[in-house]
Amino acid sequence: MSETRPAASVIVPAFNEQDRIGPLLPILSQVATELGYLVVIACNGCVDGTVAMARATPGVEVLDLERASKPHALNEAERFVGDVFPRLYVDADVRTDAASIEQLVDALRVDTPRAVRPMERYLNDGAPWFVRAYYSMRYVVPASREWLEHHIEGHHIYGTNAAGRAKFDVFPEEGQIMEDAFFDRMFDPDEKVPVYDSHVEVPLPSSSRALLRGMTRIYQGNWELTEWLSANRRDRLSAPGSSRDRRSVLETARYLASGGSTFDSWRPGIVVKTLAHESARHLAIWNARRLVRAGRQADWR
């Protein structure tokens, strides 16, 4: 008798996540053993206890990859799961539940291309004031709120069905291209569906430095993604979202100058958000110019 075909696939790339992946592992085990999903934890370049923790989790499959690269981990995991759809991609440090994962999978059981994401909530525990102030603005400043509501990128769990996955080949592995940004650009606005009954909790960066470093990488990755699309997928080059970061800064500045009681109560967070975006943008520009001067332009494109 042949084995039952998995009802869906879940891919979790993990890089040195032993201090963060713990809350997610029981959920992954549950969806694997109770819901019949094929769950793959793609450990990439781990030198801590992540691989051992993953292998001790009942029901999940574990890849131990030498190369520390999230896109590479996604591509290797996709080769492993083959044509098992619907498919979700889950960050290793988030907290969710089996019902939320099932809701996302069920939303993908359509014949037309579709991309889904859950509703997120940020975990403030242990985050410094600067970081908490920045994230408090994401649903206050209109441009940021609009972006989060209409895009898959930045929600830490996303997924698609077989028709949606046919819209691209593999995740680009070169440079600093963010895999969720690439995924988002592959879909049209009417193909992106938020699932309001699905939830994910996301830990905030542990320091202001970590926040700025992450934002800088996003800026640099967005520029590299534009270059990649220009060379490889010009049909997706005009996909909504390419001007998000700069537009968000301008919208924040307008909001800061608007006055009113909301302005008074949220003034510190708005200032932090504006400063953080501008600092990260200039750091990304500096990094790009430094690489060009060093003759290593290929490292960031």
What per-residue confidence (pLDDT) applies to 125? 86
Strand partners of residue 65 = 44
Per the prediction, the chain carries an average pLDDT of: 85
Domain annotation covers residue 216: yes
Which amino acid, residue 23?
P
Q: What span, in angstroms and rounded, lies between the C-alpha atoms of 112 and 164?
A: 7
Domain annotation covers residue 79: no
What per-residue confidence (pLDDT) applies to 262? 47
pLDDT at 20 exceeding the cut of 70: yes
11: left (phi over 0), alpha (psi -120 to 50) or beta: beta
Q: How confident is the model at residue 1 (pLDDT cuts 50, 70, 90)?
A: very low
Domain annotation covers residue 73: no
Closest CA to 90 of 100, 80, 82: 100
Q: How confident is the model at residue 136 (pLDDT cuts 50, 70, 90)?
A: confident
What per-residue confidence (pLDDT) applies to 277? 65
Domain annotation covers residue 173: yes
- C-alpha distances (whole Å) from 282 to each of 66, 84, 101, 246 are 33, 42, 38, 12
Higher pLDDT, 47 or 213: 47
Q: What is the mean pLDDT of residues 192-205?
A: 96
Domain annotation covers residue 9: no
When divided into structural domains, the chain yields a total of: 1
Q: What span, in angstroms and rounded, lies between the C-alpha atoms of 260 and 13?
A: 44
Q: What is the mean pLDDT of residues 167-176?
A: 93
What per-residue confidence (pLDDT) applies to 219? 80
Residue 203 CB contacts under 8 Å (≥ 6 apart), including other chains: 20, 93, 94, 95, 122, 123, 125, 126, 127
Domain annotation covers residue 273: yes
pLDDT at 132 exceeding the cut of 70: yes
Domain annotation covers residue 195: yes
Q: What is the mean pLDDT of residues 279-284?
A: 66
For the chain, how many helices (H) and strands (E)? 11, 7
Domain annotation covers residue 3: no
Closest CA to 78 of 198, 187, 168: 168
Helical pair 25-33 and 98-107, crossing angle rounded to 10 deg:
60
| Parent domain of 142 | 94-299
Closest CA to 115 of 64, 183, 212, 16: 183
Q: What is the pLDDT of residues 201-235, one digit of tens each?
A: 999 999 988 888 888 888 888 888 988 999 999 99
